[in-house]
Chain A
Amino acid sequence: MKFNGFVLILFLSVFIQSCIEKELDFDSIKTQKWNSEWALPLINSTLTLSDLLTDTTGIIQEDEDGLITLVYESEELISINADEIVEIPDQEDFVNESFDLPSLPPGISGQIPVLFSFPFELSEPGLRIDSAILKTGMYSFTVRTDINKNVAIVDFTIPNIINTTTNDTLKFTFDLSYQQGINEIVRDTIIDLSNYTLVFGNTLGQTNKLYINALITFESDNNPNNSPYYISLENELKDMEFSRFFGYVGNQVIEMQDTVNLNIFSINEEGFFSFGEGSVNFQMDILNSFGLPVMLDVITFRAYHGGSDPDSIDIYIFGEGNPSLIELNYPNLNQVGENVLTQVNTENSNIHEALEISPGKIFIDIDGHLNPDEDSTLTNFVLDTSGIKVDISLELELFGAVNGFKIADTVDFHLNDIEDIKSLLFVVDVANGFPVNAIIQLNFVDSVYNVVHSLLPPEEQLMIAAPVSSPPEYRVLCPAEKITNIVLNDEELRAISEAKKIIINATLSTTNGQLVKIYSDYNIILKLGAKVGISL
């Protein structure tokens, strides 16, 4: 009986053990939402002007005092390639001459000269080649004759084609000895013209004519004299490109266009940037290596302001009412291969007026007239590297006043998985080293641009302008610090989670329209921390 009690205890123990797993049912523990708060520093950055402006490569310059100048330059105002202005077309000519052989006793030699000529055609009437040093070109030459002498040769000399290196005239010889049963003798050759110069002795009425001199040498024999004999030439010159061209290219028009983006204004919505006196430098320098008269005609030179309130204004280089015609300097025969500069005086331009609309871009369209006077007696020269490059630069010294200069940008926004975030506090600590106030607003909008939440109170001044010293330095005395708390509650977070985009608006202004200068050592120390309430 004693053991019955023991067994009972044992089985009770076993039973209890098996119950424990049920009792300690960890699977039945569900999540209880409790709020914990986590404070994290997010951003600690020192931002300079180059960090604040996008795509600033090469546009920021500073003088010895550190005053910043933004330099915008044209990049595409370059003429088309020279070989498109002057082209040497392919030539294809067939010429035929007849000649008589004197009757001589067998064994006696004789010579008969034959002269050929044909025009070297150019693409347009009135053009003229005095000479052209070729860098490519092929000359296919074929001769046919019915001469029937057992010993005969022909020497060809082409005085218009001269070896560029040796200065020798192009010459070549064919054997025309008769072979029984063959009535027509055909000989041909192909000559690479890449080291030859075309030279034309142009005189009045004799323009661009190619001469070929043939000298037939034979030995009299017993074959019958079938005079007159014929000799014909097939000439094909093709793929000729020059490295240098002298002559007359005629009156042509070349077009040049470019758009200069002034990205400092590109996202401006309204307001203006008033530049201080002497802070805008507008330059127009033109390099020309065409050895011929050129007149540039500025067809369009216009500043555009985009955004919600578009505007534009024409820029007059020499002042309103004066034609924008620019006669270019050009190299003379002693300056072959050199660029000759033409500096345009823009003192009377209305560029200041154009900048007042905060143009995001400036469009330029220029026609270049070659030989505008159509004087065909002139000797032009063109190299395969010749061209016209118009350099327009706009240097904006950051000295001026800003008034309600509003910039805006829209960025995509996508926020999800924030169900556990119940509150959010951003602490923005800005030590502004720039003398510019900033009112910033971030509007969260849905897919149809309805504002679902505005992050900051209206007119919240996130950055206070740093005070500046007196003229002429206008230098910041000390940074202005401001700490702003931005609180988002649960409801606001839910609203933000519905947003698809953020419209960022920032309105910049100098205090009371004061003139300021922006130096390279200015910066903004931006610190951002967040306290996140998370429901776990």
Chain B
Amino acid sequence: MISRIKPIKRVCLLILIGLIFLIIVNNRLHAQVSRSVYFLEHLPESGILNPAFSPPYNFYVNLPIISTFYIGFESPFSFDQLTQKWETGDSLYIDRETVLNALKDNNYFSFEIYNELGRAGFRAGRNYFHLSIAKVFSTKFSFEKDIVELFLYGNGSEQFLGKPIHFDKTGLNMTSYHEFALGYSIRINEKVTVGTHLKYLNGRFNIWTEKAEFKMFTDDQSTYAITASSDINIHTSSTISNFDDLIYQVENYKWLNLSGNHGFGCNLGVEYEPTSMFKLSASVVDIGWIKWKENIKNFKSANPNVDYTFEGFDINDFVSEGSFTDTLDILDTIAECFGLEKNYEPYTSHLNPKVYIGGLWNLNKSNQLGLLIRTDFVEQTIKPSFTVNYTHKFGDVLTVYANYSILNRNYANIGLGFAVKLGPVQFYALNDMAYALLKPREARNYNFHFGMSFVFGTPKEFGKSEKMDSNEGGKNDGE
């Protein structure tokens, strides 16, 4: 027994070191959302995506630092799409045509971090209770292809000269909050389980571009007079004075140093298991809002949608009493017309809800096929994504999976991951875009999700599928 434990400890140590290393390295890697965890119901973290899910253990606990960490990044183009190789040498250059071809009319970069301080849960008969504390950081920069094209070609190019330009999809939404979640699920009968997570949200940082509309027209008939108008409404709540080391600053918010920015959220889920072969599930997560009250600065257009035409500087403005002057009235006029008024009114921002609809097909005791449709509701747009999953279990110890996703108009998303259970220690490393690890230059989306749990006890009477797994695994957990 002793001789067997030692190698296991060594492996655990190696894995732990590897995971910590991955955290560090992954500070430069980014991903979207770990869809893979949806197919690994035996992980306590699967409840993040569907609160009806509960692990097949009587009790679990995730410890700080090694609890659950998720990081994700999405880009509208890959490194290869951004760059081309010179014919001579190894240097790269940015090819504007390639960049523009990679862009759609509306695009976004997103960056998300989900970092749990801890998580715990226990079963009480048919009921399962969960408690978790997490930091959530989410940022999304939306922009239009036209704005990139304008930068690359200029307003004097044939694409824009004499043609109206209208930007209204560009904006930055960035938020950071602490999430205190209380989860509950109940197995209503052998086929149906429902669950919910009720969350108290404590906002730390927010930039919300409610509106950023800009119109411009460069006249090609005269001396290039420029007519422009804007309508901007940006809300911020921040104690951050600058954007240097933003992530570091956000991550260093103290866990229990709460702000006055209170919010509430809710996740709802249902799982339906008509036979031991099939399982259907659905959930709605991130329904909620935060009322931002502290350190508010709102910026709103002083003259929304009022056209101002700039036809050039007046020579006379440069000369005052025979000498040149460095202050121009026209600059004051422009600042007045396009200036932003500041106010300090509280505001409410909403979370971006997501709907998950999934299905599992247990091919046999070791193999499983899954399908997941995730729909993100961002502002007024709906962003669906699709994932097909194959999971293979090597006994009770190792579970590996591969999945394929279509997301963010990208079709090359192969996910790979594993979950390992060594006695009461269960850890996992998940990825929806393993291709990004193998071919990072060609990937547009990156994510990584890992965590570690300590799980104890198998329920005496559990669902059919768990029974089947338990019998075939031949062992009880927590021994």
Contacts and interface: CB of A to CB of B under 8 A. Distances in A.
B311 A527 contact: yes
Binding site secondary structure of chain B:
mixed
B247 interface: no
A42 to B, nearest CB: 5
B79 A24 contact: yes
Contacts of A533: 156
A23 B28 CA distance: 12
A44 B29 CA distance: 51
B14 A16 contact: no
B218 A10 contact: no
A17 B437 contact: yes
Contacts of B91: 28-30
Interface string A19-47: 11101100011111010111111111111
Contacts of B14: 7, 10
A420 interface: no
A261 to B, nearest CB: 16
B165 interface: no
Contact of B440 (A20, A34, A427, A530): A20
Interface in B428-458: 429, 437-438, 440-441
B440 A23 contact: yes
Interface stretch (B15-23, B40-48, B125-133): B15-23
B312 interface: yes
A41 B161 contact: no
Interface stretch (B51-59, B92-100, B382-390, B467-475): B92-100
Contacts of B95: 32
A426 to B, nearest CB: 9
Contacts of B440: 19-20, 23-24
B429 A13 contact: yes
A534 B154 contact: yes
Using C-beta atoms within 8 Å of the partner chain, give the interface range for chain B: 35 or more
A529 B223 contact: yes
B188 interface: no
Contacts of A40: 156, 224, 226
A424 to B, nearest CB: 11
B316 interface: yes
Interface string A492-532: 00000000000000000000000000000000001111111
B94 A10 contact: no
A428 B223 CA distance: 7
Contact of A42 (B151, B161, B218, B312): B312
Contact of B18 (A10, A531, A532): A10
A80 to B, nearest CB: 32
Contact of A14 (B7, B18, B79, B310): B18
Nearest to A21: B28
Interface in B142-168: 151-157, 161
Interface residues of A, number: 51
B316 A45 contact: yes
A20 B28 contact: yes
Contacts of B153: 36-37
Q: Of residues A23, A38, A39, which shows the largest number of chain B Cβ atoms within 10 Å of its Cβ?
A: A39
B386 to A, nearest CB: 25
Contacts of B394: 2
Nearest to A530: B224
Contacts of A529: 222-225, 312
Interface in A244-286: none
A101 to B, nearest CB: 81
B423 interface: no
Given A36-B152, A429-B223, A13 B313 contact: no
A44 B311 contact: yes
A55 B441 CA distance: 66
Contacts of A532: 156
B152 A34 contact: yes
B138 interface: no
Interface string A38-60: 11111111110001000100000
A388 to B, nearest CB: 33
B313 A44 contact: yes
Contacts of A55: 322
B351 interface: no
Q: Which of B18, B28, B224 has the most CB of A within 10 A?
A: B224
B303 interface: no
Given A7-B14, A532-B156, A2 B395 contact: yes
Given A24-B440, A39-B224, A17 B25 contact: yes
B398 A6 contact: yes
Contact of A39 (B154, B313, B314): B154
A17 B22 contact: yes
A377 interface: no
A7 B11 contact: yes
A534 B8 CA distance: 63
A14 B20 CA distance: 10
A41 B226 contact: yes
B363 interface: no
A19 B90 CA distance: 17
Contacts of B86: 30
B220, B223, B429, B437: most-surrounded residue (chain A CB, <10 A): B223
A190 interface: no
A41 B312 contact: yes
Given A3-B11, A30-B86, 5 more contacts: A20-B28, A32-B94, A38-B155, A43-B313, A44-B313
* The 6 residue pairs across chains A and B that have the minimum distance between CB atoms: A529-B223, A39-B156, A32-B93, A37-B156, A44-B312, A36-B154
13 contacts: A2-B397, A3-B397, A9-B400, A10-B18, A11-B18, A13-B437, A14-B21, A40-B226, A42-B313, A45-B312, A45-B314, A527-B223, A529-B225
